[in-house]
Amino acid sequence: MQALTNRAKAVDRRPMTLAEKMYIPAIAKGMGITFKHLFQKKATIAFPEKKRDFSPVFRGLHVLNRDEEGRERCTACGLCAVACPAEAITMEAAERKEGEENLYREEKYAAKYEINMLRCIFCGFCEEACPKDAVYMSETFAPANYQRKGFIYGKDDLLIPHPKEGK
């Protein structure tokens, strides 16, 4: 039977010499590889002091955007939640009341907006599905946490600070 690829190697079955039995050539070859890598550029980065440059298309943590006047852009249409293949986004809509025109851009707003980052696969479909440009993915990666509830981000965690008030 003929091999499918030409990568097959013939096995050498002759008896080993004394140097081969003592593994001296293998040890010397391994030490040569070690010394070769000793003087090459390091692949790791000293993290807290130096930050790694990410790709321009990197998709990190989600952010809820505001408009120029500081009002929330999200209208709780639910398109981001429907587009999410991992079903990581949940939201509840509410009607805007009198006197809240400076807080919410449209008549309807997201009273509750949560993203479960343990389920999120960072695909970016939520960002593409949003008609109001309210959801975008930042260049920040998800921090570590010791509890599962720390990975469920609510509206107050996702909303960018108010441009005029700073909160």
**Per-residue pLDDT tens listing for the chain (167 residues):** 566 677 888 888 999 888 888 888 889 999 999 999 998 988 888 888 888 888 888 888 999 999 888 889 999 999 999 999 999 999 999 999 888 888 888 889 999 999 999 999 999 999 999 999 999 898 888 788 899 999 999 999 999 887 766 55
The total number of structural domains in the chain stands at 1
Residue 84 lies in a domain: yes
Q: Residue 103: which CATH number? A: 3.30.70.3270
- Is 26 marked as binding a ligand? no
- Structural domain harbouring 124: 62-158
DSSP secondary structure string, the chain?
---SSS---PPP-SPP-HHHHTTHHHHHHHHHHHHHHHTSPPS---TTTSPPPPPTT---SEEE-B-TTS-B------HHHHH-TT--EEEEEEEPPTT-TTTBSSSEEEEEEEEETTT-----HHHHH-TTS-EEE-SPPPPP-SSGGGGEE-HHHHBPPPTTT--
Question: Within a domain: residue 56?
Answer: no
> From CA 72, how far away is CA 75, in angstroms rounded?
8
| pLDDT on residue 10 | 84
Instruction: Kindly state whether residue 2 falls inside one of the protein's structural domains.
Output: no
Residue 148 labeled ligand binder = no
Question: What predicted TM-score, i.e. pTM, was given to this entire model?
Answer: 0.68
The confidence score (pLDDT) of residue 44 equals 84
Tokens of 15: 């008896």
Predicted pLDDT at 6: 77
Is residue 92 assigned to a domain? yes
Is 125 known as a binding-site position? no
76 is in an annotated binding site: no
The reply, when asked if residue 77 is annotated as ligand binding, is yes
Annotated binding-site residue? 126: yes
The Cα–Cα gap between 108 and 18 comes to: 83
| Residue 119 is assigned to a structural domain of this protein | yes
When computed from its CA atoms, the radius of gyration of the chain, rounded to whole angstroms, is 28
